[in-house]
Amino acid sequence: MMKSLIINFAYYLDTSSSYQKTKRFFYNLLENSDYKYKKYFDIFMIILIFSSVAILIREVKSHVNDSLLFFNNYVISFIFLIEYILRLWISSSVSKIIISQLEHDVMLSDTFRFSKALKDILFSKLKYIVSVKAIIDLLAIIPFFHQLRLLRIFILFRVFKLFRYAKSIQTFTSIITAKKFEFFTLFIFASIIIFVSSVIIYVMEANNPNSSINTLFEAVYWSIVTISTVGYGDITPVSAEGQVVAMFVIISGIGVFSFTTSLIVTSFTEKLDEIKDLKVIDDIAKIKNFYLVCGYEKVAKEVVQKLSKRNKVIILEEDIQKVEAAKKEGFTALNYDPGSIHSYKKLRININLQVKAILCLSHSDVENVYTALTIRSFNKDIFILSILKNKANRNKLNFAGVNEIFYEKELVGIIAKEFVGQPVAFEAIHALRSNITNIDIEEIIVNDRILQSFSTVGCLENIKYRIVLLGVYESSKKRFLFNPIDSTLLEKGDYLVVIGNTQFLKEFNTHLHTKVSK
Amino acid sequence: MKKSTALIFGYNEYTFEIEKNIKSVYEHIYILKLGSDGEDSFDLSDNWDSLNQKVNIDDCVAFCILEDMAENIFLTISLRDTFKDLTIVALSEDQESADKLKLAGATRVIPSTQTTANVIIDILEKPIATEVLHNILYEKSNLKISQITIEDHTLFDGKYPTDIEWSRDHGIIIMSVYHEDGSSEFIYSSKASHHIVQSGDIFVVVGYDEDIKEFEKLIGTKCEK
């Protein structure tokens, strides 16, 4: 009876959308660094931590207002307690453990072993409770029992909670952790030196009436102060033997100090690129509507250079030297293989929401086919453009799901024909394309605002604005009307294809969007 | 004057694409490979006697499309040095080699990387305008781009190009004007009109084939299409 109640309740929790939604919300708020509201929560907690420490410092020598003390001892502690409980809640799913155990037992035609499920639940929760971060959280709540004066020092544990909220501290910790073996070796070396020198200095100096080293504790204190190269000078050896030991400790201290410094510097240098990449990945997660360029070679360089004037562009390139070259040009480039699904997962790019189009611009058809297939394997809709280097591979790119294939040699052939056939016309189009004479071609979408004032082509007044209206693209009929007559009706979604001086085009665009009534 | 022979220097994938596209324009097309063997080959030795024997160089256009840019530049210099009036169309990889090819004497340089990049960007940023332009330029629709030389300016009675109702009266759109002195301007390049239609002006027009023919009859000039 009890077991069936528990199973039903577990299934209820697992299938309840409101419960799961609430749990997901708290998970995002506390753990998901991509969640947009997490940073506000983190800032709030950091403020609480600093105000708590500020009150503690103030309290040492001055009287602190009772309401502030109440706030510090109860309100902040209570908030931390709630946070602790929430973290314990989201650390594992009780309902999932029960259901998993049940399904396992059913599969083996066994009766449901609640005790095993309970054991797993306790183990998972205990695992969280004994983690360093959870212990710090718990200690930060202790000042709640402020009557015990000693326990008030636990307020300082609240400072350690900063590890949870400040990403830079987490990065620093991870860098230091990566070198834990080296640090451990250093620690052992320093400990041996301290131990040996403390014992020797104690033996040499303790019985000397002129020496200030009388106890082993003082000897250890002197060793640590000396080896750390701090050297207060409050305790100094007076015997010649003691001074020899001091010289030995000082020299060892220099070694320990330089070793520590070099370890930290090396860790940072080794991790610097990784840290920078992580920062870029975080930044990319916030960008919307960018072009993803896969491969960085000659064509890609030109495309990115021009495209990045008006758009955000991210480059993925497997070759580190090419990545460096792209970075030198001031582009955002990442050393990831564009042909690997893992790269996109690691970069946390939401292709549907963030990417405008994907450009496969590697000079190898094999790589472009591979990249296109990789992207198509998890996204069917994104627009993919690829260059083609060998004509024989066109079908392969088509098969890989590329929307637009661009064959450079074919373009050169067509240009050659235009040039020999109509050199002047060719020059005119070339000038228009490359915008070298400030003349540009633009397409202006007809929206509600334009339609309010301009219902027909005749109303547009393009001649007055020194603009050539080449034609209107009718979206509903998917056809281009060249040189339309004045009475042509405009419809929402149509495109005006116009040519003109860049400045005149701007003025014309403003005219279309600002004229409300005639 | 239109030339009847095309000389393509270089044997690669560009060769076939260029040959495919220009075979309707030229009566004879010669493809010449770099090397010393065979009749259809050339070397970079500055000796063009065999070529001179084979073709009338004054009636030729040369396409220098060697993939090695250093060799392509050397070939261009060599041709220009020998044939002062030869029209040379050269393929360049990037802006740097384009500049060198111009210095070497190429009449026209096709910068392949830049052009590719420009078209890719147009496809992404202005898909409709690009499609319209491509249809006009590569004759995929009835729309054509033509250059029309004005032989008798009196027909336009001292008017400015912008004053003439080209689109309403003749169904064509004027894009730009090339003057006899070699200067050019977009039809609406500035707010004020400076230039009266004169004999020798070349108008670059866009329109349907039949409208262009009608216009051609009107001004009595043969259009180049």
- Tell me if B186 sits within 8 A of B174, measured CB to CB: no
Chain B residues inside the 8 Å CB shell of A429: 133, 136-137, 145
Share the mean pLDDT of chain B: 80
Share the mean pLDDT of chain A: 85
- Tell me if A332 sits within 8 A of A314, measured CB to CB: yes
In tens, the pLDDT along B3-14 reads 888 999 988 888
Q: Is B142 left (phi over 0), alpha (psi -120 to 50) or beta?
A: alpha
Closest CA to B109 of B93, B133, B85: B93
ipTM of the complex: 0.78
In tens, the pLDDT along A409-460 reads 888 888 887 777 766 666 667 666 666 667 788 888 888 888 888 888 888 8
Tokens 């627009």 belong to residue: A383
Q: Is B86 on the interface with A (CB under 8 A)?
A: no
In tens, the pLDDT along A6-37 reads 888 888 888 888 999 999 999 998 888 778 88
Give the Å distances, CA to CA, from B15 to A214, B9, B32, B91: 96, 8, 10, 11
Sheet holding A384-388, edge to edge: A332-334, A312-316, A290-294, A355-360, A384-388, A404-407
State yes or no: pLDDT of A1 exceeds 80: no
Give the per-residue pLDDT at A516. Answer: 56
Q: Name the closest residue on chain B to residue A458, using Cα atoms.
A: B168
Would you tell me which residues 82-121 of chain A have a C-beta closer than 8 angstroms to some C-beta of chain B? none
Would you tell me which residues 16-55 of chain B have a C-beta closer than 8 angstroms to some C-beta of chain A? 16-22, 25-26
Give the C-alpha separation, B207 to B145, whole Å: 7
Per-residue confidence band for B225, with pLDDT thresholds at 50, 70 and 90: very low
Identify the structural domains of chain A with CATH numbers, from first to last. 2-165 (no CATH), 180-271 (1.10.287.70), 287-410 (3.40.50.720), 422-514 (3.30.70.1450)
State yes or no: pLDDT of A518 exceeds 50: no
Tokens 């309740």 belong to residue: A9
- Tell me if A425 sits within 8 A of B147, measured CB to CB: yes
Q: Between A291, A406, A424, which is nearest B116 by CB?
A: A406
Chain B residues inside the 8 Å CB shell of A499: 175, 186
Give the per-residue pLDDT at A180. Answer: 85
Which residue intervals of chain B bear CATH 3.40.50.720? 5-113
Q: A433, A483, A487, A488: which to substitute to probe chain B, counting the most B Cβ within 10 Å?
A: A483
Inter-chain CB proximity B207 and A412 less than 8 Å: no
Q: What percent of chain B has pLDDT over 70?
A: 81
Q: Is A447 on the interface with B (CB under 8 A)?
A: no
Q: B13, B178, B224: which to substitute to probe chain A, counting the most A Cβ within 10 Å?
A: B13
Q: Between B20, B118, B147, which is nearest A434 by CB?
A: B118
Inter-chain CB proximity A417 and B25 less than 8 Å: yes
In tens, the pLDDT along A272-322 reads 777 777 788 888 888 888 999 999 998 999 999 989 988 899 999 999 999
Inter-chain CB proximity A412 and B91 less than 8 Å: yes
Tokens coding A269: 């240098």
Which residue intervals of chain B bear CATH 3.30.70.1450? 139-219
The CATH class of B139-219 is alpha beta
Q: Name the closest residue on chain B to residue A502, using Cα atoms.
A: B189
Q: Is B215 on the interface with A (CB under 8 A)?
A: no
In terms of DSSP H, where are the helices of chain B? 13-22, 49-54, 69-82, 95-104, 112-125, 127-137, 209-219
State yes or no: pLDDT of A490 exceeds 80: yes
Inter-chain CB proximity A504 and B188 less than 8 Å: yes
- If one compares B35 and B188, the residue with the highest pLDDT of the two is B35
Min Cα distance B93 → chain A (Å) is 9
Q: Is B194 on the interface with A (CB under 8 A)?
A: no
Tell me which fold the domain B5-113 belongs to. Answer: Rossmann fold (3.40.50)
Q: B132, B139, B191, B201: which to substitute to probe chain A, counting the most A Cβ within 10 Å?
A: B132
State yes or no: pLDDT of A124 exceeds 80: yes
Inter-chain CB proximity B6 and A499 less than 8 Å: no
